[in-house]
Amino acid sequence: MLEVKTIGLFFITAIAEILGCYLPYLWLKEDRSVWLLVPAVFFLAVFAWLLSLHPTAAGRVYAAYGGVYIFVAILWLWAVDGIRPTLWDLVGVSVALLGMAIIMFAPRSV
């Protein structure tokens, strides 16, 4: 059960981070409203808070989170940007998720 909660928390964290970065991107690159910076700041604060909720050492959480972030970013590429992931994108995501699983769920004494 802890594994499902951890992975779910990683997904929510990744979405908050991507929104916190995507909204300023829209303002800077797509000439959208500067007001997008307000929710961007909120989402980045939520992102930082969510990372603090994990039950293990911060360095380990950040390292493992990177794998889930890569997966969510590729989903974002497909769902939001409308670009279908390539085979190499999927291979890279698989490697990243395997790394995340090893980092987070390997047995350890401490």
* Residue numbers of the domain that contains 64: 2-105
- Tell me the HSE value of 70 on the side-chain side, using a 13 A CA sphere: 19
Give yes or no for a contact between 17 and 43, defined as CB atoms under 8 angstroms apart.
yes
Q: What is the pLDDT of residues 6-58, one digit of tens each?
A: 788 888 999 999 999 999 999 999 999 999 999 999 999 999 999 888 776 67
Higher pLDDT, 30 or 107: 30
Q: How far apart are CA 20 and CA 5, in angstroms?
A: 22
SS3 64: helix
Within-domain flag for 48: yes
Within-domain flag for 110: no
Per-residue pLDDT at 1 exceeds 70: no
Within-domain flag for 40: yes
Higher pLDDT, 89 or 63: 89
Within-domain flag for 42: yes
Residues in the chain: 110
Instruction: Place 90 in a pLDDT band, splitting at 50, 70 and 90.
Output: very high
Question: pLDDT averaged over the chain?
Answer: 90
Please count the structural domains in the chain.
1
